Structure 1
Amino acid sequence: MQERIDETEVTAKVRSAGLRPTRQRVALAGLLFAKGDRHLAAEELHEEALAAGFPVSLATVYNTLHQFTEAGMLRIVAVEGAKTYFDTNTSDHHHFYIESDNTLLDIAGGPVTVTNLPEPPEGMEIANIDIVVRLRHKRG
């Protein structure tokens, strides 16, 4: 059986993000936030929903994850062109990506320093810098 957090708590979380707590949003948020901070692809959450007995389409999962992201409940981490993860930890932090496992891990500790950034175009400012450090097993 999948872990879930209290439905009242999930409903309040969805509502406090400015979203209407529909049955689908509450069910998906319950699965997403039950296990603490984690990184999930939409397909993984879709599989969890089906395993939990919540029949939902993959398109609905994608739409809900993007709504949660726009509402500030999630953060998108793009690893490769088509591979996107949704991070339940919305704080500013960076990631290790283990290529062989397609796994993201938070980089613990202090901030990472980035120097020599270009000046943004007129009227723009840098909102955030996401660093993904790719890892692979040592050879030989």
Structure 2
Amino acid sequence: MALAELLLDGPHRHVTAEALHAEALKAGVKVSLATVYNTLNQFTEAGLLRQVVVDPSRTYFDTNVSDHHHFFFESEGTLQDIEGGTIRVEGLPPAPSGTALARVDVVVRVRKG
């Protein structure tokens, strides 16, 4: 319950498991990193969170589950939402037989110049 309160109370945000673990410990919640990962994955499976993979070693969990995309600020390692209707993806191949397209995720990587 404590992890849900930390994660879902307040505005939408993007967190890593490590960041949420540190936040929980700071708030006095005694929880292992493995439990944080398990909880985030269960919340994702239940549709309460959305997973955003920016590279094989970095996954964020997004509390905004609406249709949208992301800017990824490479130097800061942060995400910012892009409204769903502002990006149009064309020319997708047909889904393989027996499957249906579930979602298209766009991560636009940016650097401050």
TM over 0.5: yes
Query: What CA deviation, in whole Å up to 9, does each residue of 1:59-110 have, x standing for no partner?
Result: 0000000011111110000101111000000011000000000000001373
Structure 1 match to 2:15: 40
Please point out which of 53, 57, 65 is paired with 1:90: 65
Superposition CA RMSD, Å:
1.0
- The structure showing larger relative contact order (alpha-carbon pairs under 8 Å, at least 6 residues apart) is 2
Secondary structure in 1 matching 2:5: helix
Structure 2 match to 1:137: 112
- The runs of at least 4 aligned residues of structure 1 exceeding 3 Å deviation read none
Alpha-carbon distance in structure 2 between the residues aligned to 1:49 and 1:137: 31
Structure 2 match to 1:108: 83
**Structure 1 segments unaligned to the other structure (5+ residues):** 1-25
TM-score (norm 2): 0.96
Q: CA deviation at 1:50?
A: 0.1
Percent identity (aligned): 59
Secondary structure in 2 matching 1:134: strand
- One-letter code of the match for 2:79? L
Aligned residue pairs total 113
- Asked whether 1:125 is paired with 2:100, we answer yes
**Structure 2 segments unaligned to the other structure (5+ residues):** none
1:109/1:71 Cα in 2 relative to 1: closer, same or farther (>3 Å)? closer
Report 1:11-50 matches (<5 A). 26-50=1-25
Alpha-carbon distance in structure 2 between the residues aligned to 1:51 and 1:84: 22
